[in-house]
Amino acid sequence: MTYVVVEGCINCKHTDCVSVCPVDCFYEGENMLVIDPDECIDCGVCEPECPEDAILPDTEPGLEKWLEINADMAKVWPVIVDQIDPLPDAEKWSGLSKKSDHLSRRPAKQAFCQ
């Protein structure tokens, strides 16, 4: 079993989950996070930390699409190990359903030192 980030994270991207993950298995996209299913140790500490209830065990029915998205995007997005602020419009998107069409497959923009 592993945990899966689902559409509730889209356009919110709270990172409370990242701060408690003991194995750094979260990866950051432009507008959501994913969990690498090969790295997740099924400890479950991330699930209650998500204010959007967007982290679920992969044993929940109907998550095949999200498990695939998590596995695919974890291969190309950068790992995130520190908590950051949610997206500026997170409050507007909080609690909305059917956000799948807004998923960006682009990685998070990385800060560059000048």
- The pLDDT tens digits of the residues spanning 66-102 come to 999 999 999 999 999 999 999 999 999 999 999 999 9
Residue 76's φ and ψ, nearest 5 degrees, are -120, -20
Q: What is the pLDDT of residue 112?
A: 44
The full set of domain ranges for the chain reads 3-83
Q: What is the pLDDT of residue 109?
A: 85
Q: What is the DSSP string of 2-42?
A: -EEE-GGGTTT---HHHHH-SS--EEEBSS-EEE-TTT---
30: buried, middle or exposed (CB in 10 Å: 19+, 13-18, 0-12)?
middle
Q: Quick one: pLDDT band at residue 28, thresholds 50, 70, 90?
A: very high
Query: What is the separation, in whole angstroms, between the first and last Cα of the chain?
Result: 42
Q: Quick one: pLDDT band at residue 1, thresholds 50, 70, 90?
A: confident
Class of domain 3-83 as given by CATH: alpha beta
Its pTM surpasses 0.85: yes
Neighbours of 101 (CB within 10 A): 7
Residue 6 corresponds to which tokens in the numbers above?
Answer: 């689902």
Flag whether pLDDT at 57 surpasses 50: yes
Q: What is the pLDDT of residue 110?
A: 65
